[in-house]
């Protein structure tokens, strides 16, 4: 419409957010990897595991999105972070898991289904559960030793990503508990 302003969009994603103990262990792993290959370490307050990236969503759709996501069920689970990896194509060092819990894949599928029912398109990329530790890393050799980190996952969250010259800042919009098993 001529003269009509475009509706504001928010850059959103669904994620698992670690508690302080897991965050500390991930931050220490990032520091050890940085000593070997340089790079920009992720700030402690930004460490997370993205479940689904939604991208830009119109502000008016957020209340309906929050309500619909509240109906997504799932069981709490334990995520065993036991692998450090390096993606050469984008120079990222990450922490991941050798074995993916079925509950994690089930949660991601349930979230994708709910988003599709809301006509929110989500890129159909292969889901690789990981926590980014370093960006712009130059790992030439082996990554440092990495002891397993036990992450008790009891909720998922809807986050807004706010970009600035200082880097991304994340704001929690909503969170949902997973069922204790």
> For residues 131 and 84, what is the distance between their CA atoms, to the nearest angstrom?
10
89 has catalytic annotation: no
Residues 48, 92, 104, 111: which is the catalytic one? 48
130, 137, 139, 178: the active-site residue = 130
- Name which of 180, 103, 84 is nearest 141 in CA terms: 84
Please state, in angstroms and as integers, the Cα–Cα distance from residue 36 to each residue in 6, 30, 49, 53, 85, following that order.
Answer: 46, 10, 23, 30, 13
Instruction: Give dist(CA 26, CA 17) in Å, integer.
Output: 12
What is the C-alpha separation between 64 and 106, in angstroms, rounded? 22
By annotation, the residues acting in catalysis are 48, 130
């Amino acid at each position: 419409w001529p003269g009509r302003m475009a509706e504001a969009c928010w850059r959103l994603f669904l994620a698992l957010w670690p508690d302080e103990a897991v965050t500390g262990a991930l931050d220490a792993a990032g520091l050890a990897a940085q000593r070997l290959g340089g790079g920009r370490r992720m700030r402690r307050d930004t460490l997370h595991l993205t479940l689904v990236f939604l991208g830009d969503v119109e502000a008016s759709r957020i209340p309906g999105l929050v309500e619909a996501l509240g109906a997504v069920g799932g069981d709490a689970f334990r995520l065993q972070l036991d692998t450090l990896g390096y993606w050469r194509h984008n120079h990222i060092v990450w922490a991941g898991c050798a074995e993916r819990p079925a509950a994690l894949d089930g949660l991601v599928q349930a979230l994708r289904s709910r988003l599709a029912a809301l006509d929110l398109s989500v890129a159909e990329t292969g889901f690789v559960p990981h926590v980014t530790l370093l960006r712009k890393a130059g790992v030439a050799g082996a990554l440092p030793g990495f002891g397993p980190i036990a992450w008790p996952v009891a909720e998922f969250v809807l986050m807004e990503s706010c970009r600035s010259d200082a880097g991304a800042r994340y704001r929690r919009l909503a969170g949902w508990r997973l069922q204790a098993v």
